[in-house]
Amino acid sequence: MTIAKQLTRSEERMHSDLGWLNSHHSFSFGGHYDPDRMGFGPLRVVNDDRVAPGDGFPEHPHRDMEIISIVLDGQLEHQDSLGNGRVIQTGDIQYISAGSGVVHSEFNPSEDQPVHFMQIWIEPNAQGLEPRYEDQQIIGETDNEWKLILSPDGRDDSMAIRQDVELRTVQLASATSIHYETKRKGRGFWLFVLEGGISADGNDLGKGDSLAISGLEHLDLVNATHESAKVMLFDLPLTPDGL
C-alpha cells in the first residue's frame, strides 16, 4: 500500500447551523456532500455537535450502524426503543449498535447550558444483528499515555463494538511526544484534534483538524506548543487502495 494522506482543516469541515444545533462534519453528512470526503474505511461519520439547552434530536430510526457519542461538555439524555433511558454526563461514552433497527432520541436536559459531544458512526462487520446499547464513563486517562476507548474485543475496559476498529485518545502535555504503532498490515490512521495543537507525520494540526493516513504502520505525535493537546486516533482496516 502506498502512503496517502488527506488533511482537513477545521474551517474546511461541512457546517450545519439549525439554531438549536451547531454541527461540523468531517465527512459528508445529511444535505452536505463532498465526493472526496465520504469516510475512511468503515468510519463514516464524525460530527462535532453542540445542542442548545432544552433541545435535541426527536425520535428517529437507525439500522446497521455503530453509533458512538462522547460527551465533551454538558449532558445528553438518551431514550430508545430497547427500553434504555439515561442522562450521559461529561466524560461518558455511549454506544448503540443499531443492527436490525432501533429508534432513539437525544436531548440536552439542561435549562441553561449547551451540550458538546462527538457523534461517530462506524459501519458494522455484519448486518441485521440484534440491536444493543451500552454506556460507561471514560476513566483511567493519563497524560502522555494512550487510552483505548473502542475495540472489537472490549479489552482494557474499552467499549466493545462490532467492527475491527480501535479508537484511542491521549492528553499530550506541552513539549512532549508519543509513538503509536499498529500491529497489522493494511490498516489506516485517522486523527482528530479535540484540544490544542500537535504535529503528525510532518503536518501541523490544530483544534478541529483531522488527518487520514494510509500506508504507514507507525506514527509519532508531537506537541511543541505551550498548552496541552487532546487527540483521538482511529486504527482501522482499509481496502488495498487506501484512501
From residue 181, alpha-carbon distances to 117, 123, 188, 211 in Å are 28, 23, 11, 16
Q: What are residue 177's DSSP bridge partners?
A: 222
CB 205 within 8 A of CB 197: yes
What would you report as the CA-atom Rg of the chain, rounded to the nearest whole angstrom?
A: 17
From residue 95, alpha-carbon distances to 119, 188, 209 in Å are 10, 22, 24
Indicate the Cα dihedral angle 220, 41, 82, 24, nearest 10°. Answer: 70
Q: Which pLDDT score, from 0 to 100, does residue 243 have?
A: 52
CB 174 within 8 A of CB 215: no
Instruction: Output the pTM of the full model.
Output: 0.95
139/79 Cα distance (integer angstroms): 24
CATH 2.60.120.10 given to domain 13-137: yes
Domain spans of the chain? 13-137, 147-237
Domain made up of 147-237: CATH architecture: Sandwich (2.60)
Q: Is 42 helix (H, G, I), strand (E, B) or coil?
A: coil
Q: Which pLDDT score, from 0 to 100, does residue 133 have?
A: 96
Condensed to tens digits (0 to 9), the pLDDT of residues 29-49 reads 999 999 999 999 999 999 999
**In the block, residue with C-alpha cell 492528553:** 171
Same fold? 13-137, 147-237: yes
Which amino acid is present at 196? G
Percent helix, strand, coil in the chain (nearest 5)? 0, 55, 45
Q: Which pLDDT score, from 0 to 100, does residue 242 have?
A: 47
Q: Is the dihedral of CA 193, 149, 53, 107 positive or negative?
A: positive
From residue 191, alpha-carbon distances to 6, 111, 143, 230 in Å are 10, 34, 18, 11
What nine digits make up the cell of 29? 453528512
Positions of the chain with pLDDT under 70: 1, 240-243
